[in-house]
């Protein structure tokens, strides 16, 4: 398969298993270097309010575990590598952004950036690309989008197809108790009690090794560990970014299996030529 694409930047692994890229933001002629998290679980892109130009329009903002009344949307000029961009961000207080030791985190690139710029997140070569060529890769899974624009794929347990979010903003895989039971998945509990951390939540969880498969790629079977929130109702309200989806495949699954997320062709697959 020959995909014509443009490399945007290398992906940097964070200490908590997520992904970021280096960028440079311009504000009033001054340049500020820092890092954006790459988060497919966020429908919008977010920037440190200190790097944003005040738009004059204050809006309410509910995300990252907080409700903010002094946030606003703003247009930001920035560069990633040699590529220049200008797009809308939602400006938030710096303390709401994720932290990374030794790095200045300036924001989050969400699905509005990734989809509009026809991005490919390539965990095989650990790089972000812009795709410029339509393909239908062999042994691929179709990406669809929930009501907020977050990517989903379909997996099977034993009780029919189950939608699940692809969330690079979450390291672990997560599945609600209801989804585990209703999907008729084969699983084995690990008997581990853990704490599930994320942007805006801290929830007790247990874990299970769950078997599932995809009909789209030759009934390929997977065995993956999922965190199962113990505080069911509150847990999925906070971490399930879609009201109709209660399964999340996180960054650990994407990185370990070296998946390629293609938001031009709306496919997830494993083989792609690079240039």
Yes or no: say if 164 and 155 are a contact pair by the CB < 8 Å rule: yes
Question: How far apart are the C-alpha atoms of 27 and 199, rounded to whole Å?
Answer: 27
Report residue 21: phi and psi, to 5°. -135, 150
Q: Where are the domains of the chain?
A: 5-131, 141-269
Question: How far apart are the C-alpha atoms of 181 and 183, rounded to whole Å?
Answer: 6
In this prediction, residue 237 carries a pLDDT of 44
pTM for this predicted structure: 0.89
Q: Is the pLDDT of residue 274 over 50?
A: no
DSSP string covering 62-127, please? EETTEEEEEEEEEEEEEEETTEEEEEEEEEE-GGGS---TTS-EEEEE-HHHHHHTTEEEETTTTE
CA 248 from centroid of its chain's CA atoms: 10
Which residue bears the tokens 């979450």?
170
- Give residue-wise pLDDT tens across range 177-214: 888 888 889 999 987 888 776 555 677 888 999 999 98
pLDDT band at 87 (very low <50, low <70, confident <90, very high): very high
Q: Is the pLDDT of residue 239 over 50?
A: no
Question: How far apart are the C-alpha atoms of 105 and 37, rounded to whole Å?
Answer: 8
pLDDT band at 246 (very low <50, low <70, confident <90, very high): confident
Q: Please determine whether the domains at 5-131 and 141-269 fall in the same fold group of CATH.
A: yes
User: Which range among 28-32, 61-65, 153-157, 245-249 shows the weakest confidence by mean pLDDT?
Assistant: 61-65
Exposed/middle/buried for 190, CB within 10 Å: 0-12, 13-18, 19+? middle
pLDDT mean over 47-75: 68
pLDDT band at 68 (very low <50, low <70, confident <90, very high): low
CATH assignment of 141-269? 2.40.70.10
- Give residue-wise pLDDT tens across range 117-131: 999 999 999 999 999
CATH assignment of 5-131? 2.40.70.10
């Amino acid at each position: 398969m020959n995909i014509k694409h443009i490399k945007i930047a290398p992906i940097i692994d964070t200490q908590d298993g997520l992904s970021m890229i280096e960028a440079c933001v311009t504000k009033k002629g001054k340049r500020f270097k820092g890092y954006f998290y790459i988060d497919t679980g966020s429908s919008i892109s977010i920037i440190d309010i200190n790097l944003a130009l005040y738009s004059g329009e204050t809006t309410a903002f509910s995300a990252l575990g907080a409700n903010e009344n002094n946030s606003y949307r703003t247009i930001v000029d920035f560069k990633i590598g040699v590529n220049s961009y200008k797009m809308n961000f939602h400006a938030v207080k710096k303390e709401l952004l994720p932290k990374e030791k030794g790095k200045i985190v300036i924001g989050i690139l969400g699905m509005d950036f990734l989809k509009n710029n026809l991005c490919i997140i390539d965990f095989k070569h650990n790089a972000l690309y812009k795709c410029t060529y339509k393909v239908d890769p062999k042994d691929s899974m179709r990406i669809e989008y929930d009501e907020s624009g977050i990517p989903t794929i379909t997996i099977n347990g034993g009780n029919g197809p189950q939608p699940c979010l692809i969330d690079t903003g979450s390291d672990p895989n997560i599945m609600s108790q209801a989804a585990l039971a209703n999907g008729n998945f084969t699983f084995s509990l690990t008997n581990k009690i853990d704490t599930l951390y994320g942007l805006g939540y801290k929830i007790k969880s247990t874990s299970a090794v769950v078997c599932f498969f995809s009909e789209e790629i030759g009934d390929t079977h997977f065995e993956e560990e999922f965190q199962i929130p113990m505080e069911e109702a509150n847990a999925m309200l906070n971490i399930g970014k879609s009201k109709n989806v209660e399964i999340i495949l996180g960054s650990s699954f994407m990185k370990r299996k070296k998946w390629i997320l293609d938001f031009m062709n709306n496919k997830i697959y494993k083989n792609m030529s690079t240039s």
